[in-house]
A and B are shown apart, each in its own frame.
Chain A
Amino acid sequence: MKQWEVVIGIETHVQLSTQSKIFSGSSTAFGAEPNVQANAVDLALPGVLPVLNKGAVECAIRFGLAVEGQVAPKSVFARKNYFYPDLPKGYQISQYELPVVVGGKVAIQLGQGDDLSEKTINLTRAHLEEDAGKSLHEDFHGKSGIDLNRAGTPLLEIVTEPDMRSSAEAVAYAKALHALVRWIGICDGNMQEGSFRCDANVSVRPVGQKEFGTRREIKNLNSFRFMQQAIDYEVQWQIAHIEDGGRVEQATVLFDPDTGETRAMRSKEDAHDYRYFPDPDLLPLIISRDWIERARSALPELPAAKKQRFVTDFGLSAYDATTLTASLEVADFYEATVVVAGKAAAKPCANWVMVDLAARLNKEGMELAHSPVSAVQLGGLVARIADNTISNNIAKKIFDALWNGEGKSADEIIDKQGLKQITDSGAIEALIDEVLAANAAMVAEFRAGKEKAFNALVGQAMKATKGKANPQQVNELLRRKLA
């Protein structure tokens, strides 16, 4: 049996979060009534001229800097010519020979726990372009309906080198890119609304062969799960097809989530010939060094740098640091808890954010942005565990109380409900004496060698302190008394 190697490159259309379109002052808000956000430029009425949106360019610069690509000092818009009713001009304004970003790289995480490894995916380029409108093929008396609200929405098309070798790597890349564009605030990342759409170029070749196989392009993957399924199916199909003596023909294919299969779109008699040429309506885009430097200083700390800092400054494991830098919201929330709880409590803060809070949010189906417990409140809670005011068990109760809005801060709830941990050993001893007196049978069992009875006594003692004693301290005192 021949061994096959999978080769994948990905093109992603990232919808930029600008207020207005790339070449007109129409709104880009999602979900409006058809065509209410399509003006003369978007409709390509005669005589109109495009004027480039500075905000879209700013997004492209931010991206170029974030992936350490080269932001082109001069880039050029070109016309990509094709006919389709949702493209009223008969061409899409894009960039061809001189894109706004050249090169760059995205680090991806593979595996889990101890098998965690990193790989770099190189980018070829990223270019600015406009989106097309939407065609609706439901029956309008045998016609198609056209909604041009989306026409002219700014997109950044990000193209990788053929660097990925499995569907898992492709998904890891898509996830990393998705997190990054949200992190730097250039895209809302809403995949249901089409803000982040991937095309995967997939080919296979025998292991050891230098030349790439013929690729097929899977279009419009709008979920990570579908991407994985589509690539897995496509790879199996290509291998089976070649092993059966067939040849892969270059084609565009669509993934059908219902059947889990990819199938080739009816190939056109004419291959695409887009006849790109520089758009005479637009002058070259010049980006000054100064603008690039201003954009650089406005960027937030990037995920890789933040992750490294969490490891070195806070002593977190690589895994924890990766989890906490999955999105800017999580990272900011976490850092805000550490600011309140203190750097020494950075690790427990990480646990509370990743475990307790995450579990609760997950259970309630809520996003971190809407967490009823704020970072400051959570930090205040962790601070009281760290300084031994409360035990971990009590902390969980206070967390619930904060969640339910029973107090503004952990301190307030501790005061109000009298939850301060009893550390005075005299007071605990007195309670233990009562417990021992009241549970003579258990004491006898313990003395007869039943270790289980000891645990029961600890339980009784903790109950007597209403959980406010430090369990370890109770344990020690009880052992001493029974010795």
Chain B
Amino acid sequence: MSLTLEQVRRVAQLARIDISDAEAESTLGHLNGIFSLIEEMQAVDTRGVEPMAHAQDLAQRLRVDEVTEVNRRDAYQAVAPETEAGLYLVPKVIE
């Protein structure tokens, strides 16, 4: 299986990455390289093997339900580009 240039452009658009035509071409080459690796792996017979959701066969650790955080808004907002009335300001978005 190999990707088309169109698919590369779509994935880039979904990820909000602006790529030039030249970058799309070279990315296509890189991704197809990865896909051929995947193809090799898919050739392995995995019948009867349960897919893993994670590389480590461990269970999720759980946290006790209690509030452990204090208000550090000033510190977080000190590095934000723009804030007002406690809000982070961003370019206008209306769906």
Binding site for B on A (CB under 8 A): 18-20, 24-27, 33-40, 43, 45, 51-58, 76-77, 81, 83-85, 98, 135-137, 140-148, 265-266, 270, 273, 275, 278, 280, 282-286
Contacts and interface: CB of A to CB of B under 8 A. Distances in A.
Contacts of A58: 65
B82 interface: yes
Interface in B1-58: 13-14, 16, 53-56, 58
B68 A146 contact: no
Contact of B60 (A26, A136, A273, A284): A284
Given A35-B73, A35-B76, A266-B95, A52 B87 contact: no
B50 to A, nearest CB: 10
| Interface SS of A by simple majority | loop
19 contacts: A26-B69, A27-B69, A40-B76, A51-B61, A51-B63, A52-B60, A58-B65, A77-B60, A84-B93, A143-B82, A143-B90, A144-B89, A145-B84, A145-B87, A146-B90, A282-B54, A282-B60, A283-B56, A283-B58
A52 B86 contact: no
A144 B93 CA distance: 6
A27 B66 CA distance: 8
B68 A25 contact: yes
Contacts of B54: 278, 280, 282-284
A33 B14 CA distance: 34
B67 A27 contact: yes
The 9 closest A-B pairs by CB, nearest first: A55-B65, A25-B68, A145-B87, A34-B86, A286-B59, A54-B62, A76-B53, A283-B60, A146-B88
A252 to B, nearest CB: 10
B63 A53 contact: yes
A143 B92 contact: yes
Contacts of A76: 53
Contact of B91 (A35, A53, A143, A282): A143
Interface residues of B, number: 37
Contacts of A43: 76
Contacts of B71: 36-37
Nearest to A142: B92
Given A38-B76, A283-B58, A140 B84 contact: yes
A285 B66 contact: no
A26 B90 contact: no
Given A19-B67, A146-B90, 9 more contacts: A20-B69, A25-B66, A35-B77, A38-B76, A52-B61, A58-B65, A83-B16, A145-B84, A270-B14
B94 interface: yes
B87 to A, nearest CB: 3
A69 B64 CA distance: 25
B85 to A, nearest CB: 7
A59 B55 CA distance: 28
A56 B14 contact: no
A135 B93 contact: yes
